[in-house]
Amino acid sequence: MTVLWTAAPTPHPRVQWREQRWWPVLPLIATVLLLAVPVQTAGAGTSADITPADIASCVLVAFALGRVLRLRRRPLTPAAALVLGIPTAGIAVATFTATDPAAALTGFIRYLQVFVLVPTAVVLLVRTPRNFRIITGSLTVLALVQGATGVHQYATGTGASYMGEDIRAVGTFGPTDVMGMATVVSYGLLAALALALRTPENAPPWLRPTAVAAAAALVVPLALSFSRGAWIATLAAALVMILLTGLRQAVRALAALTAVSVVLVGGFGIGSEMISQRLTSITEVTEAPDRSVTDRYTMWAAATSMWDDRPATGVGLKGFAVHRDAHASIGLSSGSDTAGAGQEFHKQALLSPHNMYLLVLSEQGLIGITAFVGSWAAILVAGVRRLTLTRGKRRATDCGLAAVGLMTWQTVDFLYADIGGPSTVLTGIVLGLAAWWALAQPAEATAA
């Protein structure tokens, strides 16, 4: 009796030729680029809004499953299956133990989509470094579109409200998802930086200068997003990527990065005064915190209080908003002010702690946080290890740099943000790209 998944049959030469083409990653490309479509949502803190990118991600998962069944190949390595699947345990337990399992079901679906199904589909569909580069190229294109929209918003005063002026660059995501454009631009910047640092062998001569120009250009909308969390995460990821290229190139890259920042922000004065104030506020959060920082600290304290009540399983998915008032101090404001970018002023309720680790800890307890952090740490460590082993051989090193950079950005940004809003689906794609590099068969990930 033959077992289907123990050994994959040798594909027909025509099938092998098709594997080298880009069409199998079309659902991935569509999912990324559909985020350029303006969507009016109820708020970044909600998960009830279904966007075109979310629908495309469902098609992506179905396509990946159908492709695996058609090709009759082993879908995942045991290590990849374990690392990608283990978050399911935390979200399942948190759903069943929630005070309202029916309400928690929507959270279960969202978590399963972002942290399990979409990353797994990416690993299944990306078969070669060329496929990987097509997806990161799509991220860069999306970032340039959103970034150009954000710069136009700043220049014309049509952005989201910031310090009494409608100048905050938010792209097409609107004032209720101020992190959306910053997230997209950060992804694109790091993808372009990877190509600039380690251009693939036999690449056309225009690729490297184009990547350098794209990375430099994306610094502007990132700065105009006024997102401190995105700035810190991007700087940390860029430094990790630069240091992993070797000492000599790291020195040159750091000098170039400093020069670009000085010219764009200092020389041209692009938002320099407000950016300076925003940077200064990072060091003043313990001495003279602004309203947003005070609210964030209050919600962090509420999240740890929820976990203290139910340390093993947490309060259940979608439970933070329900239990917030019982655990938050009176210092928490009623909500954050949102306006501009084509929307009227209104208060946006604070329904999450704006820290992914604390959100998981409060809603899923030790079981959930162990599963999630263990999965992310395994992907990051395995990705760095594979990159260091292949660095001297220059085989798909650009893919490794992009994967490690994107994963580093995500793990750092989760200290200041959590899931929510249309851009959330990209989190699953980024986790999938990082997992493909870290956990795919060596012949796939390190091919030229």
Q: What is the pLDDT of residues 293-351, one digit of tens each?
A: 777 888 898 899 999 999 999 999 988 888 888 887 776 665 665 665 666 666 666 77
Q: Which of 107, 82, 80, 103 is nearest to 92 (CA)?
A: 107
Q: What is the pLDDT of residues 400-417, one digit of tens each?
A: 999 999 999 999 999 988
Q: What is the pLDDT of residue 72?
A: 73
Lowest mean pLDDT among 247-251, 283-287, 304-308, 424-428: 283-287
Q: What is the pLDDT of residue 276?
A: 58
3-state secondary structure 5-64: CCCCCCCCHHHHHHHCCCHHHHHHHHHHHHHHCCCCCCCCCCCCCCCHHHHHHHHHHHHH
Q: What is the pLDDT of residues 176-217, one digit of tens each?
A: 888 899 999 999 999 999 999 988 888 899 999 999 999 999
Identify the top-confidence range among 37-46, 63-72, 243-252: 63-72
Taking the CB of residue 37, how many other CB atoms lie within 10 A of it? 11
| Residue 146 confidence (pLDDT) above 80 | yes
Spatial distance between the Cα atoms of 398 and 444, rounded to a whole number of angstroms:
14
Q: What is the pLDDT of residues 363-375, one digit of tens each?
A: 999 999 999 999 9
Q: What is the pLDDT of residue 283?
A: 52
Coil, strand, or helix at residue 212?
helix
Q: Which of 268, 272, 30, 263 is nearest to 142 (CA)?
A: 30
Coil, strand, or helix at residue 263?
helix
pLDDT band at 101 (very low <50, low <70, confident <90, very high): confident
